[in-house]
Amino acid sequence: MSSFLASVIIFILLLLLILATLRSAFRIVPQQQNWLVERLGKYHRTLGPGLNFVGPFIDRVAFRFDMREVPTEVAPQVCISLDNTTLTVDGFLYLQITDPVKAAYGSSNPMNAAMQLAQTTMRSEIGKLHLDQALSSRQILNTAVASSVDEAAVNWGIKVLRYEIKDITPPAEILHAMELQITAEREKRATIARSEGQRQQQINTSEGQRQQEINIADGRRQAEVLRAEGEAKAIELVATATAAAIRTIGEAAVTDGGMAALQMQLAKDYISQWGNLAKQGTSLIVPANLGDIGSMVGTALQMVRTENAPRPTTPPAPSTVPTAR
């Protein structure tokens, strides 16, 4: 009975040993990972994703690498710009292992080596720029650091995808001075904009007043022209009417009884006009022969007769014919 129990125990131990050996001989590698196998302390091969066989007792998995992009934070560091201003700069370095063999045996800590190189390169690049240039040239600094680290990381089996600056922090007094400068610049722009607005307003006002004065002057000129044209038209009409009236009187005077009627009208008008003169003022100068109305009327009638009398035609001048000698 005791021998049977000992046999069972030995069988179980052998089974456990076989299971342990099989478990160590077969390895399942996850996706996007590479495992490096060393045989008796020397690099043997690289295990890809999936099920892999490893020699028991002589092979061992020495390194496990994640082949995905790895973001690594670069610790803040103090840099000095070209104008001797201290800046605190930090960022992120995005790395990817492309050659696991070089990553395992090219450097003892490739990730740390890449971060240290990124910090050194950033200090060097900041030292080439003034403060204002460093604050406004983030993309240039990112490209310079990524290119420099990528060139050196080839021997480490690492690919530098990009570098991004997180913060660039000047000293507190520099920040205060920059805030004052920004405030002054904004006030300057506001003052310029306000003065430009006032200038444009004055220009618009003066242009409006000028146009208003021009319009008023044009209106007055047109009114004067129209008034003068109206007065000229009125004078013309009055003159035409007066000429027509005189012509009618002259034509009526040569008819039968026309002279007597004209004589009566002249006497009537003469008396009426002198009566109006006496009403308009207290002082009046009269001619010596005021009572001799008949002579006045006779003189006017004589002028009418003379105007209506037929004018003699002037005979043509005799032509002079030269005589021959």
For 33, 108, 126, 158, the CA distances from 65, given in Å and listed in that order, are 6, 14, 33, 11
- For residues 54-78, average pLDDT: 88
For 133, 161, 221, 243, the CA distances from 235, given in Å and listed in that order, are 87, 102, 21, 12
Residue 25 lies in a domain: yes
Q: Tens digit of pLDDT for each residue in 75-121?
A: 898 999 998 888 999 999 999 999 999 989 888 888 888 999 999 99
Residue 36 lies in a domain: yes
The pTM is what? Answer: 0.52
Judge if 87 and 122 occupy the same domain.
yes
For 74, 80, 84, 166, 282, the CA distances from 147, given in Å and listed in that order, are 16, 21, 25, 18, 121
Predicted pLDDT of residue 323: 43
Judge if 214 and 199 occupy the same domain.
yes
Contact 114, 102 (CB under 8 A): no
Residue 249 lies in a domain: no
Judge if 131 and 200 occupy the same domain.
no
Residue 183 lies in a domain: yes
Q: Which has the minimum average pLDDT: 12-26, 39-53, 154-168, 232-246?
A: 12-26
Position 63 pLDDT exceeds 60:
yes
- In the chain, the largest separation of any two C-alpha atoms, in whole Å, equals 203
| Phi, psi at 30, each rounded to 5° | -70, 165
Predicted pLDDT of residue 14: 81
Residue at a domain's end among 24, 49, 66: 66
Residue 256 lies in a domain: no
Q: Tens digit of pLDDT for each residue in 233-290?
A: 889 888 888 888 777 776 776 666 666 666 666 666 666 666 665 566 556 555 555 5
Task: With both helix axes pointing from N to C terminus, report the angle between 258-280 and 293-308 in degrees, rounded to the nearest 10.
Answer: 130
Residue at a domain's end among 170, 185, 201: 170
Q: With bands split at pLDDT 50, 70 and 90, how would you rate the model's confidence at 176?
A: confident
Predicted pLDDT of residue 258: 64
Position 133 pLDDT exceeds 50:
yes
Predicted pLDDT of residue 12: 82
* CATH, residue 162: 3.30.479.30
Judge if 82 and 50 occupy the same domain.
no
Judge if 141 and 111 occupy the same domain.
yes
Predicted pLDDT of residue 25: 81
Residue 113 lies in a domain: yes
Identity of the amino acid at 235: I
By residue range, what is the domain housing residue 77? 70-170
Contact 39, 55 (CB under 8 A): yes
Judge if 151 and 219 occupy the same domain.
no
309 or 253: which leads in pLDDT: 253
Position 201 pLDDT exceeds 80:
yes
260 or 130: which leads in pLDDT: 130
Residue at a domain's end among 36, 51, 66: 66
Judge if 159 and 84 occupy the same domain.
yes
Residue 205 lies in a domain: yes
Predicted pLDDT of residue 85: 87
Residue 311 lies in a domain: no
101 or 8: which leads in pLDDT: 101
Judge if 177 and 221 occupy the same domain.
yes
Q: With bands split at pLDDT 50, 70 and 90, how would you rate the model's confidence at 322?
A: very low
Judge if 29 and 109 occupy the same domain.
no
d(CA 10, CA 228): 145
Judge if 78 and 164 occupy the same domain.
yes
Mean pLDDT of the chain: 80
Predicted pLDDT of residue 324: 39
Judge if 156 and 82 occupy the same domain.
yes
Q: Tens digit of pLDDT for each residue in 288-308?
A: 555 555 565 566 555 555 555
Judge if 77 and 144 occupy the same domain.
yes
Question: Per the structure, how many domains does the chain have?
Answer: 3
